[in-house]
Structure 1
Amino acid sequence: MDFTMNMEKTMGRLKNGAFLSVRSGTKVNTMTIGWGYIGIMWNKPYFMVLVRPQRYTNELLGEAEDFTVSIPFGNDLNKELGICGTKSGRDIDKSETVEFIPSKVTKSPVIKGCDMYYECKIKFKQLMNGDEFPEDVKSASYPLKDYHYMYFGEIVECYEGE
């Protein structure tokens, strides 16, 4: 599949919501993301996702070796995106909201019914340094000073949904 074409499709839809999913041992969770970055790092394709420290997904990502991003292009999964963006996997079983299906390469599953899938191996993570942000960004996006962790996932598989 053409990485550049998929990148353009993905970035155009990401702001409308996507599912970031992770498996750590027997625990599986997904959350809604609207921010991210796809590009070339260290001469390979990467998907960088941002997760706040207090999120249950962050806890699982800290123990996992991979993650997936499942992107719906239409509005069919808007209800599910809303639930997964407002409810914690600590409090609800997300498999009652979305259908997890096996991915092709990673241990982390993908979400059934999406149009584009990225499977990523975690290669690097870093907590953002809030001291480096402009004041307008800090006040608008980080009033609680809960700066995101950035997870750099090497894209090991990318494909369209059926």
Structure 2
Amino acid sequence: MKRMIYFLAAFVCLPLCLLAQDDSKYLAGAVPVVNGKVVFTKTISVPGLSQDEIFKRIQQWTGERFVTDKEQKGRILYSDQTKGDIACWGEEYLTFNKAALSLDRTLITYQMIITCEPGECNLKITAIRYSYNVANKNEPEKYMAEELITDEYTLNKNKDKLIRKTGKFRTHTIDMVDQLFTDAAAVLTAGQPSTAPATTPPAITTPKPETPASQLTAHIPTAAATSGALQGYRQIAPDKIPGNIIKMLSEDWMLITAGNDSRFNMMTASWGGLGHLYNKPVSICFINPARYTYQLMESGDTYTLSFYTEAYRDALNYCGHNSGKDGDKVKAAGLTPITTPSGAKAFSEAWLILECKKLVSQSLIPEALADPTLKTQWSGKPMHKMYIGEILNVWVK
């Protein structure tokens, strides 16, 4: 009888021991933080493969992985085979518990930045955000990874146990990242000589020091940019701007930011365009004189137009409905200011920044409207002012 009791006790304790062992990978240091931002990184070595071959393999994988279906949303934000760069946006659910009458899960959004080089592929996952539905609340709770899954928020005082409330976000995020890195490695190393047991998953490496400006990076520090470069971004020619500008404006929106380090403000906009004028690449935007940004736009020469992924929809929505005159709009929106080489302001969360200099500015008048409906709509109302700016620089993650 005693032997049976010992056997049952050992059987019951075994899963607990295994669980404790598994938890070790989620403890101190499991969520890397670089300059205040959560950044998971992985370098996959693929000896003998050229940059183009690595790019083709990873491009095919991202094209299949970052798509929109019933289970997830995703898309490729940027792709440049010559440079070996790919940027993706993903949105999917992390399920904590699923039962017949209950479902505990959170929606997670993130960016994956990929840089292909001869013999290796560097991956970064950052800009992680959560939207968590709570049964007794009408609106989901919104969190950034930096305020939810770091050691400070998910580990006890001794750093040896997970806090129950936030620990589930941490463990499921780490598992998701591990799986993404594992899947990418499987695609890249297919047909390569094995250097480790097949059951050994790729480990998350410690973040490398800041990469040169010639490479694509996933983190943008808060410091001002150095002359001629914007740290964390890669410069491209205006005629290489990726994406559909009509969709980027009408559906995704942008921020117009005017001013300098001493005083600046941003506003959400969905009107504008890109073009060519006076033999220069130009951007077009419109600002209503009633907006606080208008004053700063009028007093300065340079400004930025910046674009964001769906993860920052709430921030852009806030910037569109609140004035910088009423408080710290930047802090309330949760954005991180950076300074461009020309001294203009933008935000490190943007995946694309157009640095512009005023070329033409013209106030619109109702008489200039050809559409009768619009002419009636705007009759007697203050109309927007149009700004056409020379595109000085284009910065992309």
Task: Name which of 336, 339, 364 aligns with 1:99.
Answer: 336
Gaps (5+ residues) in structure 2?
Answer: 1-235
Aligned to 1:116: 352
Asked if structure 1 preserves the Cα contact closer than 8 Å seen for 2:305 and 2:355, the reply is yes
Post-superposition Cα deviations, 1:62-121, rounded to whole Å, max 9, x if no partner, equal 10111101101x211101101100101111222212211122x22221112111110001
TM-score by length of 1: 0.88
Task: Name which of 53, 58, 75 aligns with 2:289.
Answer: 53
1:99 alignment partner AA:
T
Aligned to 1:41: 277
Rounded Cα–Cα distance in structure 2 between residues aligned with 1:10 and 1:43: 20
Asked if structure 2 preserves the Cα contact closer than 8 Å seen for 1:7 and 1:38, the reply is no
Asked if structure 2 preserves the Cα contact closer than 8 Å seen for 1:19 and 1:111, the reply is no
> Which protein is bigger by CA-based radius of gyration?
2
**Which structure carries more helix by proportion?**
2
| Stretch moving more, 146-155 or 17-26 | 17-26
Aligned to 1:157: 393
Rounded Cα–Cα distance in structure 2 between residues aligned with 1:4 and 1:122: 19
**Which structure carries more strand by proportion?**
1
1:89 matches 2:324: yes
Task: Name which of 293, 305, 314 aligns with 1:69.
Answer: 305
Rounded Cα–Cα distance in structure 2 between residues aligned with 1:44 and 1:30: 25
Aligned to 1:132: 368
Q: CA 1:25 to 1:115, structure 2 compared with 1: closer, same or farther past 3 Å?
A: closer
2:288 alignment partner AA:
R
Identity over aligned pairs, percent: 24
1:78 matches 2:350: no
- List aligned pairs for 1:138-149, cutoff 5 A: 138-140=375-377, 142=378, 145-149=381-385
Rounded Cα–Cα distance in structure 2 between residues aligned with 1:101 and 1:63: 20
Aligned to 1:10: 245
Q: CA 1:99 to 1:139, structure 2 compared with 1: closer, same or farther past 3 Å?
A: farther
Rounded Cα–Cα distance in structure 2 between residues aligned with 1:90 and 1:144: 26
- TM-fit CA distance, 1:137: 1.7
Q: CA 1:90 to 1:7, structure 2 compared with 1: closer, same or farther past 3 Å?
A: same
Equivalent pairs counted in the alignment come to 158
Gaps (5+ residues) in structure 1?
Answer: none
